[in-house]
């Protein structure tokens, strides 16, 4: 089981640093499919928050 801090680091590497899922997987040792799953989960949760009006659109 991966720790929350590692999941946060994966998301930061992807969104802030622009790293690919494959690159993140190599750097962290986490399977590429798992990296993709975490990114997809984050995007889904963000979409749900935006739709519910609990998240202001930064654009």
Do you know the residue count of the chain? Answer: 59
CA–CA–CA angle 48, 51, 53 (5° rounding): 110
Q: Which tokens sit at 1?
A: 């089981």
If 0-12 CB within 10 Å is exposed, 13-18 middle and 19+ buried, where does residue 22 land?
Answer: exposed
Query: How many other C-beta atoms lie within 10 A of the C-beta of residue 2?
Result: 13
Q: What tens digit of pLDDT does each residue of 30-57 get?
A: 999 999 999 999 999 999 988 888 766 5
pTM: 0.81
Hunting for tokens 């720790």 — which residue is that? 3
């Amino acid at each position: 089981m991966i720790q929350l801090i590692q999941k946060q680091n994966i998301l930061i590497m992807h969104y802030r640093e622009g790293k690919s899922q494959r690159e993140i997987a190599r750097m962290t040792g986490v399977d590429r499919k798992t990296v993709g799953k975490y990114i997809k989960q984050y995007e889904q949760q963000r979409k749900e928050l935006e739709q519910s009006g609990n998240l202001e659109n930064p654009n």
